[in-house]
Amino acid sequence: MATTRAQPDFRTRLQDWLPRIVLSPSIAMMFVFVYGFIVFTIYLSFTDSRMLPSYDWVGIENYVRLWGLRAWWTAVINLGIFASLYIVICTAIGLSLAIFLDQKIRGEGLLRPIYLYPMALSFIVTGTAWKWIMDPGIGIENTMHLWGWESFEFRWIKDRDMAIYTVVIAAVWQTSGFVMAMFLAGLRGIDNEMLKAAQIDGASNWNLYRRIVIPLLRPAFLSAFVILAHLAIKSYDLIVALTGGGPGRATELPATFMYSYTFTRNSMGIGAASAVIMLMSIAAIMTPYLYAELREKK
Amino acid sequence: MSVATQDTAVRTGRVTRTFIYVFLLLFALFYLMPLFVMLANSLKPLSEITEGNMMALPKVWTLEPWAKAWSSAQIGVEPTGLRPYFLNSILMVVPAVAISTVLGALNGYVLTKWRFRGDSILFGLLLFSCFIPFQIVLIPMAMVLGKLGLAGSIPGLVLVHVVYGIGFTTLYFRNYYAAFPTELVRAAMIDGAGFFQIFWRIMLPVSGPIAVVSVIWQFTNIWNDFLFGASFGGQSQPMTVALNNLVQSSTGVKEYNVHFAGAILAALPTLLVYIVAGRYFVRGLMAGSVKG
């Protein structure tokens, strides 16, 4: 009796479980390669790992040493400078381009892809191009001299105090078009009638944008901020290609710090600790954002 | 994000309008300038760069730098040019994109049409994994790839890119399928259609646009990746790593023209995709940031 029933039962049960079975490889990979690895790296950050992973617990020693390192402070301060300028400038350029592009501009279809194409490039390509463009020997400085502006000087990339700003320039070039696209999508979603009404009431263009349009773009601002902040914290390739962290160590960021301490300076424990701090700062930005986004959908 | 057609244009005077056009054109020049510099200088003999003006068109046009970057420039210790690395990138990108897109489609299908308790938590975890700084997984990944015997190999890189790509592909397909009427799926179920039948006959035929978005996004991301390629590439380094080695090499004369040609070669595949399917590229970007 039982055995004859088992056949259809098994098949329906299989049907019931099939979705979960199909999903399971991805979920398994996620738990191992993402969350398992995160736990493992956190664990390593509490051990005395050097060239190879070691499992001897040393408590928070790595974190204490990390925050005592000049190089780490340089990286953190650089990230602060880089991230704030990068976010502010990208947002300003992106917003201006979007608002201007939204004024029934002839050739919008041609301009938009021009603003956005850098986003399709690798940061290594961007870094290579700007490295030579900003090079005093062959780049802009040389060009200006040849064009007759003899006193023109632009050698930030060779200057310890200014090199971090060259990273901002290249990064803004790469992503500001993308921010433009985000704002443009936001602008196109705004109800036109409201603007017409305000205009009839005699509001000036400036006030119209300041009082009505820009506040309505709040979601786009939030998205832009989150995306840019997380890109800034993860910035690695651009530094490698553009400045190599130099001159000296003047443009190290946490991402390059982590790499060099872990893989070339044989301080895996400290490298792991710095990665944990990077993760925590990204989590602090992303988690509330993703949580809110997922909630809204229901 | 809805692709609305309305613009928020306001009435503007002639002065304002002129200013707007000048502003927009100046920025267009800013974005185009590096591409122009790369292209123009990749077609010059080296002497024209070191003694001449970066912004000038070549006086003598030459394809020499391109040939050199492609087949004979010194990359690391071998004078192989970028060609073998270009091939590495292709061999890595094609399977990684295919696998992650197929998995993303299946995941999105399950997460919208076969919901179960706790599925949104799983999706949230998957989504968060898109944004982690990959430094947090570098050390264990290196160990695991070593244990699996995949260190420094193309299959190893494919695995890495699939693992860290399915978050985004799942996101795309999930949001896309969420808008697809569940009633149709229910009706098919009542008619006795199974899990894969419904996927194959009902979902897949309407998945064209989102599949394109997913493929383009994955292609661009994986082609442009540097961190994983540099960490786990070993003997099978992708194009980005090779380009960086070419540019950073400290021996001999700096051949800027070859560097620029190499940079364009590295950028060409994603640039072509952008030119051919820019609309989908933008959609992918937006879906990765502003969902819905």
* Chain A residues within 8 A of B38 when measuring between CB atoms: 129
Q: What is the Cα–Cα distance from A253 to A241, expressed in whole angstroms? A: 13
Looking at domain B83-289, its CATH architecture is Orthogonal Bundle (1.10)
Confidence at residue A273, expressed as pLDDT on a 0 to 100 scale: 95
Q: Which of A18, A29, A291 sits opposite B195 (nearest CB)?
A: A18
Confidence at residue A53, expressed as pLDDT on a 0 to 100 scale: 86
Mutant choice from B132, B213, B276 vs A, greatest count of A C-beta within 10 A: B132
Domain boundaries, chain B: 14-62, 83-289
SS3 assignment, position B75: strand
* Chain B residues within 8 A of A233 when measuring between CB atoms: 133
Structure tokens, A172: 């803004």
Q: What is the Cα–Cα distance from A184 to A189, expressed in whole angstroms? A: 9
Q: What is the Cα–Cα distance from A22 to A296, expressed in whole angstroms? A: 27
**Helix ranges (DSSP H) in chain B:** 14-42, 46-51, 64-71, 83-113, 119-128, 135-148, 154-163, 166-178, 182-190, 195-198, 208-224, 227-232, 239-248, 256-289
Closest CA to B287 of B164, B179, B202: B179
pLDDT tens per residue, range A196-245: 888 788 778 888 888 888 998 998 899 899 989 999 999 999 999 999 88
pLDDT tens per residue, range A143-165: 899 898 888 889 898 888 999 99
Size of interface A-B (CB pairs under 8 A): 306
Domain boundaries, chain A: 27-296
pLDDT tens per residue, range A78-115: 999 999 999 999 999 999 999 999 888 888 889 999 99
Asked if pLDDT for residue B7 goes beyond 60, the answer is yes
Rounded percentage of chain A residues whose pLDDT exceeds 90: 56
User: A126 and B41 in contact (C-beta within 8 Å)?
Assistant: no
Q: Which of residues 161-200 of A touch B (CB under 8 A)?
A: 173, 177-178, 181-182, 185-192, 195, 199
**Residue of higher predicted confidence among A206 and B99:** B99
Q: What is the Cα–Cα distance from B150 to B90, expressed in whole angstroms? A: 18
Residue of A nearest to B223 (CA): A122
Fold that domain A27-296 belongs to in CATH: MetI-like fold (1.10.3720)
Cβ B163–A33 below 8 Å, yes or no?
Answer: yes
Cβ A278–B243 below 8 Å, yes or no?
Answer: no
Structure tokens, A221: 């601002």
Q: Which of B49, B133, B291 sits opposite A255 (nearest CB)?
A: B133
Cβ A102–B9 below 8 Å, yes or no?
Answer: yes
pLDDT tens per residue, range B132-156: 999 999 999 999 999 999 988 999 9
Q: Which helix (H) or strand (E) holds A276?
A: helix A268-296
* Chain B residues within 8 A of A255 when measuring between CB atoms: 133, 135
pLDDT tens per residue, range B191-212: 888 889 999 999 999 998 899 9
Q: What is the mean pLDDT of residues A45-63?
A: 89
DSSP string, B147-206: HHT-TTSHHHHHHHHHHTTHHHHHHHHHHHHHTS-HHHHHHHHHTT--HHHHIIIIIGGG
